[in-house]
Amino acid sequence: MWIFGGKGPSGYSARSTAEEVTQGIDGTGFTAIVTGASSGIGVETTRVLALPGVHVIMAVRNVDAGRSVKEAILEELPSAKIDVMELDLSSMASVRKFALDYQSSALPLNLLINNAGVMACPFTLSQDNIELQFATNHIGHFLLTNLLLEIMKKTSQESNVEGRVVNVSSGGHRLAYREGIRFEKINNETEYNAIQAYGQTKLANILHANELARRLKEEGVQITANSLHPGVIVTNIARHHGIFNGKSPCRASSIIDAMAKKCVLAS
Answer yes or no: are the C-beta atoms of 247 and 240 closer than 8 Å: no
Per-residue confidence (pLDDT) for residue 131, from 0 to 100: 97
Question: 6-15, 25-34, 127-136: lowest mean pLDDT where?
Answer: 6-15
What value does the mean pLDDT take over residues 165-179?
90
For 138-154, write each residue's pLDDT tens digit: 999 999 999 999 999 99
Using 50, 70 and 90 to split pLDDT, how confident is the model at 245? very low
Q: Which residues of 155-186 are buried (b: 16+ CB within 10 A; e: fewer)?
A: bbeeeeeebbbbbbbbebbebbeeeebbeebb
For 70-123, write each residue's pLDDT tens digit: 999 999 999 999 999 999 999 999 999 999 999 999 999 999 999 999 999 999
pLDDT of 267 strictly over 50: no
Per-residue confidence (pLDDT) for residue 100, from 0 to 100: 98
Per-residue confidence (pLDDT) for residue 4, from 0 to 100: 58
198 is catalytic: no
Per-residue confidence (pLDDT) for residue 16, from 0 to 100: 83
Using 50, 70 and 90 to split pLDDT, how confident is the model at 12? confident
Classify burial at 197, counting beta carbons within 10 Å of its beta carbon; exposed 0-12, middle 13-18, buried 19 or more.
Answer: buried
Query: Annotated catalytic residue: which of 12, 177, 192, 198?
Result: 192
Using 50, 70 and 90 to split pLDDT, how confident is the model at 234? low
What are the CB-based long-range contacts (under 8 Å, 24+) for 47-51?
A: 47/73, 47/76, 47/77, 48/18, 48/19, 48/22, 49/22, 49/111, 50/77, 50/80, 50/81, 50/82, 51/19, 51/22, 51/27, 51/77, 51/80
